[in-house]
Chains A and B, each alone.
Chain A
């Protein structure tokens, strides 16, 4: 294609968009509304997952050893733990460290008085941080099978609840995103169809004069892509300000909540949402117009 033909096509695409102002507005509104819902839902779901992940990160399994296990064996056990896939990190708590933590909270600053020996002797342990709470059961079974282990402390209810929540969020969000996408495609293809059927006569004239399918289709496809892009940028702009506003509101009005929960930053949300929204908007505009014009090219 020659440059002047490309420029002509581009100009026609822009011109068509303004010429069919109401149709363009309806298409932008449809794409915008769908992508706004998608963006909103994505922001909520990814934050929910982030909060869940943060809570999960705090879930630990604590393992205590039999009295006759030597310090060297405990060290070796720690190394072995780090090699396991279920384990993200391991923190060792010595008897002294435990006494220094618990002593003051139960007996005040003079906690060592009356205790010539460390009452926490033999309580040294490993605090194990998990790769995923869903792997807790597997790790606990392994730990309980080890002869040097005296006690394994863990919360089965927390792990299974978190794991269940996580699974539910993944499935529900995937289902809702798919439904939203299907609804968007349906609405957009209908809007494009209405817009193009109005211009079917124009397409017919072009074909009778000897225009190639590409020449006829290109302005419509460009128009669809531009509508898709605008339809994606508007909800992104809205979500950008809305997200920031909601985050600020939560941190100022609900201080308690914000200290307990951690939210994703605007940059983290937009690093995924922006390319995905633009891709979906432009893609839907392109596909919708490409497929719909095809029907009218059979002249």
Chain B
């Protein structure tokens, strides 16, 4: 068996076993920093899971997310996402790879000069969805996040919670297999935060794998989901229905 065939066989076996994300002894050293941001992390996430990645500042959560998004490649080990080793992706393959990942950020990252509809439709334009289909998909996803009546609104005039819903709709409109949320409730008041978490749980129930990076113990401890805790770049615990105590 050639090396290429061996890699393909391993990938197929992994997908067959329901695996969607696999970090194999991953380390990440930034040249400008002394200590590694992520150190010998091995983590497997299956299709349809809801996983919290928790930890204090500097624990390596954000680096982990960057590795999954293929913003960076690990200095050690391999990151497999949907059967693809991110290290082997060519620059031209990255856009297509990312289209299977929905991303939501703490600061929403919306296109501020466009309205709600345009922000969501933008994700569809990128993958060249026909206009007719787009006119069907965008209102449907907006009604799912509860913004059907505000599709014409300027995003700058929306509340934080509403802006995060737009970001969520944009992340979901292309029906990604994985949703990555980086501190999605970090800028929201408790009511809006719970609304967003409920939406994430609903999305997960529909079959999307959801990974939420957070350092909010209240949310993590109430949701009773899998919790992967990190400290100084290492995974210190990985429990189903785990608990989290913020040490910050």
Q: Is the CB of A209 within 8 A of B170?
A: yes
Bound state CA distance, A235 and B122, in angstroms? 38
Contact with A along B76-120 (1 / 0, CB 8 A): 000000000000000110011111010100000111010000000
- Closest residue on chain A to residue B176 by CB atoms: A210
Among the listed stretches B19-27, B51-59, B125-133, which one makes contact with chain A, having 4 or more residues with CB under 8 Å of it?
B125-133
Size of the B side of the interface (Cβ < 8 Å), in residues, is: 24
Interface size class of A (residues with CB under 8 A): 10 to 19
- Closest residue on chain A to residue B123 by CB atoms: A209
- Closest residue on chain B to residue A15 by CB atoms: B113
Nearest Cβ distance between residue B68 and chain A, in whole angstroms?
A: 12
B197 within 8 Å of A by Cβ?
no
Contact with B along A1-25 (1 / 0, CB 8 A): 0101100100000000001000000
A75 within 8 Å of B by Cβ?
no
Q: Is the CB of B99 within 8 A of A210?
A: yes
- Closest residue on chain B to residue A12 by CB atoms: B125
Q: Is the CB of B109 within 8 A of A208?
A: yes
Q: Is the CB of A208 within 8 A of B98?
A: yes
Nearest Cβ distance between residue B159 and chain A, in whole angstroms?
A: 20
Residue in A202, A213, A215 whose CB lies within 8 Å of B111: A202
A274 within 8 Å of B by Cβ?
no
- Closest residue on chain B to residue A205 by CB atoms: B109
Task: List chain A positions with a Cβ less than 8 A from chain B.
Answer: 2, 4-5, 8, 19, 201-202, 204-213, 215, 299
New A-B pairs, 18, CB < 8 Å, besides A210-B101, A212-B95: A4-B131, A5-B128, A8-B125, A204-B109, A205-B109, A208-B98, A208-B103, A208-B109, A209-B98, A209-B122, A209-B123, A209-B170, A210-B96, A210-B99, A212-B92, A212-B126, A213-B91, A215-B126
Sorted nearest first, the 4 A-B pairs with minimum C-beta distance are: A210-B99, A210-B98, A212-B95, A211-B126
Task: List chain B positions with a Cβ less than 8 A from chain A.
Answer: 69, 71, 91-92, 95-99, 101, 103, 109-111, 113, 122-123, 125-128, 131, 170, 174
